[in-house]
Amino acid sequence: MSAKASIDIAAARELHERLTVVDGLQYSNWDRSVFQQLHEGGVHAVHVTVAYWENARETLSRIGEWGRRYAAHGDLIRPVAGAADIRQAREEGRVGVFYGFQNCSPIEDEIDLVAVFRQLGVFLMQLTYNNQSLLGTGCYEEEDTGITRFGREVIREMNRVGMIIDMSHSAERTTLEAIELSARPVVVSHANPLFFRDVARNKSERVLRALAGSGGLLGFSAYPLHLGGGSECTLDAYCDMIARTADLMGVEHLGIGTDLCHRQPDQVLGWMRNGRWRRVLDGDEPESPRWPAQPAWFRDGSDFPNITAGLLARGFSETEIAGIMGENWLRVLEQGIAPQSQ
C-alpha cells in the first residue's frame, strides 16, 4: 500500500468518526459479536429486518426477541423510537436499532395492524417480498399488476401513521405506482441500480428518479448478488456506481443499506427464498443455497470506515459523504415516520 493510500485511510478514519452512520438494512445473526462489530465500525443505527414470511403472531415473537437483546446487550444497543434517538445513540456510544418488514405478511389482511406495528417501532415495510403479495407484485413475478385494492388502503394508512414504504423487493410497475400513490417519501432500503448489475432486484433509472422525486432514497446494497463483479466487486467500482447514481438522483437521495446477513446459517437463505410457499425450486436454483462471500472491503459491520474511505478517494465532499453515510437516512426518517396530525 502506498504512502498516499495510508494518508487517505487516516483521513477517512478521522472523517468517519465525525459522521452519524446509518445502515439502512441488515439481517445478521444477531449476537454480541455482531453488535460489537457495528460499534467498531462506527455505526449509530441499523434497520433490522424482523419479518420475511412471518405472520402477525410470529412477528410478535421476533420483536419480543429484540427486547431480550436490549436487556442482555444494553451497553451496545438500544431501541430507536424516533429519529432523534439515533443522535442520542451516537452520544451514548450505542447502536440504535429500528425495525422493518421485508414483506406485508405481518399485517395479514388487517389494515389496523399497520398502526399496531408502527407503535412497536416498525419504521418501514416492504409492500412485497419477491412474490405477489396482498398489496402488490414482487420483483420475481412474471406479471406485474401494480398496487392492489388493499395496497392502496395500506399506502394511505402507512402515510397516516408514519411507516415508510420500502420497495426494495418489488416489481417496476408496482414500485412506480406506490411512489405515485404515496404522499410521503418512498425508499428502496437495499438495492443497487440496474446499470451496475442487471438483476431483478436492482432498479431502473426510471425508478431511481421517481424515488428521488418522492423525497426518498436508495440504500446501496453490499450483497454480492447485487454488485457488479459479485464477491470480487472492488471498492472503486462500488464508489463509481455511487457517483453515477448521484448524478442521476442527486446525492441527497443516497444512503447505505448493506443487506448484510452476517453469520447466518445457509438454512436461513432457504427460509428467505422459499418461506412456506414452495416445495419445488425454479430450474436454475440450487437445492441447498449457500451465502456468497462478501467483498473484501465489506466483510462485516466493522468495515464501514472502508466505505467512507472509498467515497473520499472518489472525490465526494465531506458533506456529501456525511449525507450518504447517514444524514440522508436521518432526514428521510424525520420526514417519514412522524404520524400525520390527527
HEC-encoded secondary structure of the chain: CCHHHHHHHHHHHHHHCCCCCEEEEECCCCCHHHHHHHHHCCCCEEEEEEECCCCHHHHHHHHHHHHHHHHHCCCCEEECCCCHHHHHHHHHCCEEEEEEECCCHHHCCCCHHHHHHHHCCEEEEECCCCCCCCCCCECCCCCCCCCCHHHHHHHHHHHHHCCEEECCCECHHHHHHHHHHCCCCEEEEEECECCCCCCCCCECHHHHHHHHHCCCEEEECCCHHHCCCHHHCCHHHHHHHHHHHHHHHCHHHEEECCCECCCCCHHHHHHHHHCCCCCCCCCCCCCCCCCCCCCCCCCCHHHHHHHHHHHHHCCCCHHHHHHHHHHHHHHHHHHHCCCCCC
- By CB under 8 A, the count of residues binding its own copies is 22
Q: Which three cell numbers stand for residue 127?
A: 409492500
Q: Is 265 in the site for its own copies (CB under 8 A)?
A: no
Cβ at position 66, least distance to its own copies in Å = 9
Shorter beta-carbon distance to its own copies: residue 9 or 60: 60
- Single residue of 9, 11, 76, 120 touching its own copies by CB under 8 A: 120
Cβ at position 69, least distance to its own copies in Å = 10
- Single residue of 61, 145, 267, 317 touching its own copies by CB under 8 A: 61
Shorter beta-carbon distance to its own copies: residue 33 or 119: 119
Shorter beta-carbon distance to its own copies: residue 74 or 292: 74
Shorter beta-carbon distance to its own copies: residue 55 or 319: 55
Q: Which stretch binds its own copies (CB under 8 A): 113-121, 274-282, 285-293, 320-328?
A: 113-121
Q: Which stretch binds its own copies (CB under 8 A): 63-71, 140-148, 235-243, 311-319?
A: 63-71
Q: Give which of 135, 132, 292, 319 is closest to 223, Cα–Cα.
A: 292
- Single residue of 116, 243, 269, 313 touching its own copies by CB under 8 A: 116
Cβ at position 111, least distance to its own copies in Å = 8
Site for its own copies in 93-112 (CB under 8 A): 110, 112
Write the binding mask 12 to 51 for its own copies: x where contact by CB under 8 A, - elsewhere. Answer: ----------------------------------------
Write the binding mask 64 to 93 for its own copies: x where contact by CB under 8 A, - elsewhere. Answer: xx-xx-xx--x-------------------
By the criterion CB under 8 A, which residues form the site for its own copies? 55-57, 60-61, 63-65, 67-68, 70-71, 74, 110, 112-113, 115-116, 119-121, 342
